[in-house]
Amino acid sequence: MPALGFESICPRVWFFMLLYLLVCLSIVLFIPPAAILDDQSVCGRGERLALALARENINSIFEGQSRARVEVDIFELQKDSQYDTTDTMCQILPKGVVSVIGPASSPASGSTVSHICGEKEIPHVKVGPEETPKLPYLRFASVSLYPSNEDLSLAIGAILRSFSYPTASLICAKAECLLRLEELVRRFLISRETLSVRMLDESLDPTPLLKEIRDDKVATIIIDANASISYLILRKASELGMTSAFYKYILTTMDFPLLRLDDVVDDQSNIVGFSMLNSSHPFYLEFIRSLNLSWREGCDLSPYPGPSLSSALMFDAVHVVVGAVRELNRSQEIGVKPLSCTTPQIWQHGTSLMNYLRMVEYDGLTGRVEFNSKGQRTNYTLRILEKHRGGHKEIGIWYSNNTLAMNSTSLDINMSETLANKTLIVTTILENPYVMHKSNYQELRGNDRYQGFCVDMLRELSDLLKFSFRIKLVDDGLYGAPEPNGSWTGMVGELINRKADLAVAGFTITSEREKVIDFSKPFMSLGISILYRVHLGRKPGYFSFLDPFSPAVWLFMLLAYLAVSCVLFLAARLSPYEWYNSHPCPMGRKDMLENQYTLGNSLWFPVGGFMQQGSEIMPRALSTRCVSGVWWAFTLIIISSYTANLAAFLTVQRMEVPIESPDDLADQTNIQYGTIQGGSTMTFFMNSRYQTYQRMWNYMHSKQPSVFVKSTEEGIARVVNSKYAFLLESTMNKYHRRLNCNLTQIGGLLDTKGYGIGMPLGSPFKEEITLGVLQLAENNRLEILKRRWWEGGQCPKEEDHRAKGLGMENIGGIFVVLICGLIIAVFVAVMEFVWSTRRSAETDEVSVCQEMLTEFRNAISCKKSSRSRRRRPLASPGGVFSSGHLTGGGGDPLGAATAPPSRSCAHVRICQECRRIQSLRSASSFSRIPPHLGPHSSMSLPRLTPPPPPSSTNTDSEGGGCGTASPKRPKPKPTPPPRPLPPAKAPTTDLLLGKQD
Pick the last residue of a domain from 655, 683, 708: 655
Q: Are 504 and 454 in contact (CB under 8 A)?
A: yes
* Residue 782 belongs to a domain: yes
What residue ranges in 436-516 does DSSP mark as E strands? 436-437, 450-451, 468-473, 502-503
Number of domains composing the chain: 6
Q: Is 855 annotated as ligand-binding?
A: no
CA distance 656 to 647: 14
167 assigned ligand-binding residue = no
Q: Which of 272, 177, 277, 171 is nearest to 229 (CA)?
A: 171
Please give the torsion angle defined by the CA atoms of residues 659, 662, 666 and 671, in that order, rounded to the nearest 10 degrees: 40
- What sign has the CA pseudo-torsion 565, 568, 574, 577? negative
On whether both 126 and 39 belong to a single domain, the answer is yes
Residue 991: the pLDDT is 34
Residue 126 has, within 13 A of its CA and on its CB side, a CA count of 29
817 domain-assigned: no
**724 burial level (CB within 10 Å; 0-12, 13-18, 19+):** buried
**Domain end among 726, 751, 776:** 751
In 372-464, the DSSP E strands lie at 377-378, 381-388, 391-399, 403-406, 423-428, 436-437, 450-451
Q: What are residue 751's phi and psi, to 5 degrees?
A: -160, 180
In this structure, the number of other CB atoms found within 10 A of the CB of residue 625 comes to 15
8 A C-beta contact, residue 724 and residue 674: yes
454 and 520 inside one domain: yes
Task: Please indicate if the annotation marks 513 as binding a ligand.
Answer: yes
Handedness of CA 511, 517, 518, 521 (dihedral sign): negative
- Asked if 729 and 649 sit in the same domain, the reply is no
* Residue-level length of the chain: 997
Radius of gyration of the chain (CA): 62
Which residues of the chain are under the pLDDT cut of 70?
1-30, 40-42, 62-68, 133-140, 298, 300-303, 408-418, 535-542, 583-591, 650-657, 792-807, 809-812, 861-997
Instruction: Tell me, yes or no, whether 472 lies in a domain.
Output: yes
Whether 370 and 377 have beta carbons less than 8 Å apart is answered as yes
Which CATH number belongs to the domain containing residue 158 in this structure? 3.40.50.2300
CA angle 62/67/69 to nearest 5° reads 65
CA distance 490 to 476: 6
The CATH number linked to 785 is 3.40.190.10
Rounded CA gap, 387 and 226, in Å?
17
Q: Same structural domain for residues 192 and 207?
A: yes
Looking at residue 382, what is its pLDDT? 93
Same domain for 389 and 265, yes or no, is yes
863 in any annotated domain: no
| 262 and 385 assigned to the same domain | yes
Contacts of 881 (CB under 8 A, 6+ apart): 887, 894, 933, 937, 939, 940, 941, 942
Query: Same domain for 505 and 595?
Result: no
Bridge-based pairing state of the strands 73-76 and 880-882: unpaired
Residue 889: how many CB atoms within 10 A of its CB? 13
Helix (H) or strand (E) holding 783: helix 781-790
Residue 112 forms part of a structural domain: yes
User: Do residue 124 and residue 86 come from a single domain?
Assistant: yes
Vertex 165 angle, CA 164 and 169, to 5°: 170
Contact criterion met (CB below 8 Å) for 790 and 738: yes
pLDDT of 224 reads: 92
Q: Which of 624, 655, 686 is the last residue of a domain?
A: 655
Residue 625: which residues within 8 A CB-CB, separation 6 or more?
Answer: 619
AA identity, residue 565: S
937 domain-assigned:
no
- What per-residue confidence (pLDDT) applies to 985? 41
In the chain, count H helices and then E strands.
31, 37
Considering the domain architecture, whether residues 276 and 131 belong to the same structural domain is answered as no
Which DSSP category does 524 fall into? E
Element (DSSP H or E) covering residue 907:
strand 905-909
What pLDDT score was predicted for residue 739?
83
- Same domain, residue pair 731 and 761: no
CA–CA separation, 818 vs 820, rounded Å? Answer: 5
Are 746 and 769 found together in one domain?
no
396 DSSP β-pair partners: 384, 406
Task: Answer yes or no: do 71 and 165 share one domain.
Answer: no
* Owning domain of residue 299: 149-253+256-306+380-406
The amino acid at residue 915 is R
- Asked if residue 801 belongs to a domain, the reply is no
Residue 579 lies in a domain: yes
Ligand-binding site membership of 836 (annotated):
no
Give the span between the Cα atoms of 451 and 431, in whole angstroms.
Answer: 11
Note the pLDDT tens digit of each residue in 808-867: 766 667 777 778 877 887 888 788 888 888 888 888 778 878 878 887 777 776 665 566
Q: How is residue 500 annotated by DSSP?
A: -
Q: Which of 363, 364, 314, 391 is nearest to 46 (CA)?
A: 314
pLDDT of residue 300: 65
Cα separation of the two ends of the chain: 221
Question: Is residue 714 part of an annotated ligand binding site?
Answer: no
pLDDT at site 938: 40
152 Cβ contact partners less than 8 Å away, ≥ 6 residues apart: 180, 181, 252, 274
- Scored b (16 or more CB within 10 A) or e, 115-126 reads bbbbbbbbbbbb
Burial of 249 (0-12, 13-18, 19+ CB in 10 A): buried
